[in-house]
Amino acid sequence: MDSSRRVLITGGGGFVGLKLCQELTRRGYKVTALDVKFVSDAALVKEEDKNIDKVEADITDTSRVNEVVSSCKPHGIFHVASYGMSGREMLNKAQIEAVNVQGTSNVLNACREHNVRWVVYTSTYNVVFAGQVIENGDDTTPYLPPDQHIDHYSRTKCMAEQMVIAANGDELQGGSGHLRTCSLRCAGIYGEGETRHLPRIVSYIQQGLFCFKYGDPNCLVEFIHVDNVVLGHRLAAMALDDDQKHKTVGGQSYFISDGTPVNNFEFFRPLIEGLGYTYPKIRIPVGLVYFAAFLIEWIHSLVYLVTGGYSFQPLLTRAEVNKTGVTHYFNMDKAQRHLGYQPLNRNLDGVVEWYKKRLPRQPNNKNNSWLLILNILLMVTFVAILFSFIPMAG
C-alpha cells in the first residue's frame, strides 16, 4: 500500500476509525475521514490529526457518499462505520439497517463508479455467532440464517459482510480494473478512550450494578485491543494492494483478536478492582439473566412506543448476554498465514490507568440510592423466577 496514495475511512470520527486515521497518517498516508460527527475528547486528539481531512457526511445518503468519494479520489476504503453495536442503539432497527446495509451498498457502489481499488470491511464475530457454543472456530463456521440472529445489528452486519465479499472482483467503471475486498471479523474491541462499551461498564461498576456474575466460570470469550484492530486493517489493505497477494486475500474473511480466550468477568476484574470496587462473588445462571434481558428489551420497546421515540438505556440485551456468557472463540491461523497478523501484546492495564485519572480515586456511591433499590428489585426478580421453576412440595 503506497503511502503516497489517499485512503478514505468511513466512521473515521469514532474510536476505531480515529485510531486508524492517526496510525496511517503517522505512516505518511493521505487520509480522509468520513463520519456524522467526530471524537471531541481532547485526550484522544493527536498532533497528526491536523493532517486528516475530516468530512461530515452520512453514509446512508447515496449522493453525499458519491460526492465525497468523487472529490477525494481514494485509492482504497476502510469501511469502519456501523450502528447498533450495544445498548439502546441495538434496538433501533430502522437506523441499524440504514447504516449497516444501505450504507455499505452506497460505499460499494461509489467504489465501482469512481474506480476505488480495494475495500477492507470491519466486521464482527456476530456474523456467525448467536448464542451457540463455538470452540476454536475457523473460516468454515457458516453464516447464520437471518432468522437465527436475535439482534438486528448482527443480522445486518452479516448481510453487509456478504455484500462486501461478493463485490470482490466486480469490474470498475470504464474497465479500469476490478474491485478487491476482504473482511475482518473483530472480537470485542477495547482500549484507552473506547466510547461504546467501556463507559457503560464503568458506570455499572460505579453505580453498584456490577454485583453479580453469570454463566459457567469456564466460559471463554475473546477481546481485541484497538491497536490490534488497526494492525489487522493495515495488513489487510497492504495484502489487497499487492498484485499477487490479493488473489489469496480478495473475497476472504478473517477472525482477529488478542489471541487469548478468557472468561468475560475475569477479563474485567482488573478494572473493577483497579477502581477500588469489590469483584462480585454471586453467580447467577445465564438463562435467568437472558430472560431478564428479554423482559428489559420488551419494556424498552413498550416505552419507545408510548413515548414516540424516547427510551432508557437497557441494563443488558439478549445479544450482550450471549456475547459475555456463552463460550465462543476462534483461531486466527488464516489471518496469520494470509496477512502475517501477529497480535501485539496488549491487556486492560492501560484502560485501568485511563479511568483512574478520570474518576474519583475511591468508590463514591452518593446519590445512587435509587440504583441500589433497582439492583435489589432485579435480584428479587431473579430469585422469584428461579423459584417458579422449583416444584411445590406435596
Catalytic residues: 153
118-124/212-214 β-pairing = unpaired
> Looking up cell 476454536, which residue turns up?
136
CB 314 within 8 A of CB 297: yes
Across 98-191, where does the E strand assignment appear?
A: 118-124, 134-137, 180-186, 188-190
Burial of 388 (0-12, 13-18, 19+ CB in 10 A): exposed
> What value, to the nearest 5°, has the Cα angle with vertex 360 and ends 369 and 41?
110
30-35/6-10 β-pairing = parallel
Q: CA–CA separation, 301 vs 310, rounded Å?
A: 10
Q: Which cell is 196 given?
A: 461504546
**What is the 8-class DSSP label of residue 175?**
G
How many C-beta atoms lie closer than 10 Å to residue 222's C-beta? 22
3 state SS of 331: coil
Give CB contacts under 8 A, 24+ apart, made by 336-340: 338/239, 338/245, 338/248, 338/249, 338/252, 338/254, 339/232, 339/235, 339/236, 339/239, 339/249, 339/254, 340/235
How many C-beta atoms lie closer than 10 Å to residue 93's C-beta? 14
For 225, phi then psi, to 5°, come to -70, 145
